[in-house]
Structures are given as structure tokens and as C-alpha cells.
Structure 1
């Protein structure tokens, strides 16, 4: 079982970036929950653990301490940008990142840009920085900055559910690629048609509804070589040999 730590940045008293009616802490929580939902629903053998699943505050040290103690395979810290930008998506690894972090970074960044490109989101690139979440994590770690809350065009996108879904799915695709996850097999739909055989003759058109098999009277008549009639008034089926 592969384990993924999803870290929704900020929370509680720490709102993160603010702009255009948005708070970073709310957007990244919504996005993190969607990543967990899609990852576990679409892929086999994976579990997503969350730093937070509600609007609570945690110190940075507590976040990495919990992730390291959980023995997860990778960590993804999810944020939104703000302050002095022109909009777009960017992602980060540590300044002296391990080969695993570099590979994870490439997979997630590529996966996200592939999903959100249709919305006109600019690619600000793959970068490195001395951020706590990627520095203190003992496993491959990446931090994503999912658009700017204080740039009007980006904020308008973040208010659209389809954009949040695309960002989440982009994260999931990158995680799955890095971990080599296999997609769950889709179950074949159960047919409501029933095969019925009377006196060695197969009756076509049988149907199962709520556990009851329904077969057309005409089909029964032909199979039995008999006359079958239905009296709606008395609700009686009569079978008469021909």
C-alpha cells in the first residue's frame, strides 16, 4: 500500500493569501480533499493522509513531524499564490532536492499543466526554494502554488469547480505516475435481461426488476406451443393447449 501525505497549507488563524473574496486556506483545503477523493477512487493500492481535513491551524514543524512519523512515500504541500505576481501556476522542490523529489516534481508539475492548460493558465515553471515543507520532509516532497488569489483572472478561475477539479486531477496524475499506480478496473454493468428456457426453448425478452423475472406472455405462448391469455380484470393468466 502506497501512502501519500497531502498537506493543505495554512488554516485556522492563518488565512494565507487573501484577495478577490478568496482565502488561500479555504481553496487549498477544498483542493486537498479533492486530491484524496480522486486518488483513492481511481487507483489501486494507495492511501492519502491529510495534514488537516477542516479549518484548523498547525505549525509547520507539526506538519512535517506527523508526515515523517507516518512513514509515507511522498508529500505534496498544496498552496495558492499571492503578492506581486501576474498569475499562473508554479511548483517547488528543495534547493538541494533528492533525485526522488526531482522526479516527483517533474511528474506533478507536468500532470497539472496538462490538465489546466485549457483554462489559459500560464506556466511559471518548476522552481526550488528553502521552504520548510520540502526541506524537513524525509520523503520526496513537492510544494504547489495553484494560481494567485489576488490576481482577478486567476481568482475567477479558482471560483469555478471545474478548475478545482482539473487542478486536483493534475495532482493525482502526477502522483500516480511517480508511484507507478494502477488504475482500478471498471466493473462491468449488470444487465437487467434474463435468459428464460421453457421446455428446452429459450424465451427472449425476459427482464429482471427488483428481483422478479418478467417474461412477455407471447414469448411463453410460443415456447409452450399453447395459447396464453391475460385477464386484467381478474388478473389471471390462462394457458390452453393448442
Structure 2
């Protein structure tokens, strides 16, 4: 049975990034608890272990030491970002990451971006403690910016938190090759025919302008479809 270690960043007297009425530690904990619940409920033969399940402070070295001692098969450290700019989502692996860490990062990044949309800041490598000191494939996710107003507004929406959770669940399940439990569906699995509330206005504007046909707003877009959208856009500018 694979062991998945989920690390909710910060906690206790360390709130992490704070802005727009949001504390990073709270989002990290909510997402971590959601991942455990949905992954174990929806998939066969998987155990999810948490660095913390309440609002407590843990040193970085304690987090990785516990994950290593538990013999976890992978580690994902959950965070929100800060630093302004345009906001968005990004993931980190260690600068000398194993091929399995790279595969885990790719699976997580794609699954989460497919769920939440918005600005993709890319798959990055950095010398971060959580991904450096973990003895298993490890990735740190930065789930939107608390100090960017548009991102902060999204982080206050239940459906966006659900999308972040589900993206992590699907990414982990894909990497591990987990089988769904018979007769079970993963909670909040998205209906691609329903537009997300945060994108509804823009989707309607772009559909009315003729760039999209109005169908399957939540479906991944292919290169062929991108080409069609670009052609329509270029034609409208002539």
C-alpha cells in the first residue's frame, strides 16, 4: 500500500504569507485535509499521512524527518504564494531531483492546472528544504497568491479550494497508478460541461465574441482548438 505524505506548510505561530484576509497556513491545512479525505475515500490501497492535522507549528527538519521515518512513497508540501505580480500557480522540485520527482511534479502540475486554470507560472526547480531533505519523490506546490487581489478572491471560494484539492488528488493518483474504488467517484470531480463561477463572465464574453463555441468550458484544450481560437482572434483584428 503506497504511503502518501502531505505537508501543510507553516502553522501555529507561523502564519506564512498573510494578505487580503487570508493566512497561508489556513489554506494549506484545508487543502491537506481535503487531499487525505478524498484520496483515501476514492482510491484503492493508499494511505495518506499528514505532517499536521491541526494548527500547530513544526520545524522544517521535523517535517522531513517524520516523512522519511514513515517510509513514505512520495511527499507533497502545500503552500500559497506571495510577492505580487500577476499571480498564478507553480510547482517546485529539488535542483538535482530524481526522475521520479520530475514525473510526480509533471503529474501534479498538469492535474492542478487542468482543474484551476488561470496563470501557469511553470514547473520550477529550487533548493528548498522540503524537496531537498525528503528521501522520496517530493514536490512543493504554490497554490495562487494571497497578496494578488484576483487570486485572493479565488482562494476565498469553496469551489476553487475544491479544485485545488481535486487537482492534487488526481495528480497523485495518476503518478501512483491508483485504481478508483468500485462504485465510487472522487468527490467534486468536475463536470466539463459546466463553467466555473470565477470564469463565467469571461467565458460568456469570449463565446459571444465568437472565439469559442460555448461547449465544454471545463475541458482541456488541444493544439488544434488553440489554432482555431487564434485564427478567429486574428481575423477579428483585421
What is the TM-score of this pair, normalised by structure 1? 0.75
| 1:127 alignment partner, SS class | strand
Return the offset for 1:155. 0.4
How many matched pairs? 184
Q: State the match for 1:240 in structure 2.
A: none
Unaligned runs of 5+ in 2: 185-238
Structure 1, residues 92-148: CA drift from partner, whole Å, max 9, x if none?
00001000000000000000001112xxx2100000000000000000000000000
- Match of residue 126, structure 2, among 129, 144, 168: 129
Return the offset for 1:86. 1.7
Counting only pairs closer than 5 Å after superposition, residues 1-242 of structure 1 correspond to structure 2 as 1-117=1-117, 121-186=118-183
- Aligned-CA RMSD value: 0.8
Q: Which has the higher helix share?
A: 2
CA contact (8 A) 2:22 2:146 kept: yes
CA contact (8 A) 2:92 2:123 kept: yes
Q: Which has the higher strand share?
A: 1
In 1, Cα distance between the equivalents of 2:88 and 2:108? 15
Choose 1 or 2 for highest CA Rg.
1
CA contact (8 A) 2:84 2:145 kept: no
In 2, Cα distance between the equivalents of 1:10 and 1:177? 27
In 2, Cα distance between the equivalents of 1:98 and 1:150? 32
In 2, Cα distance between the equivalents of 1:60 and 1:84? 25
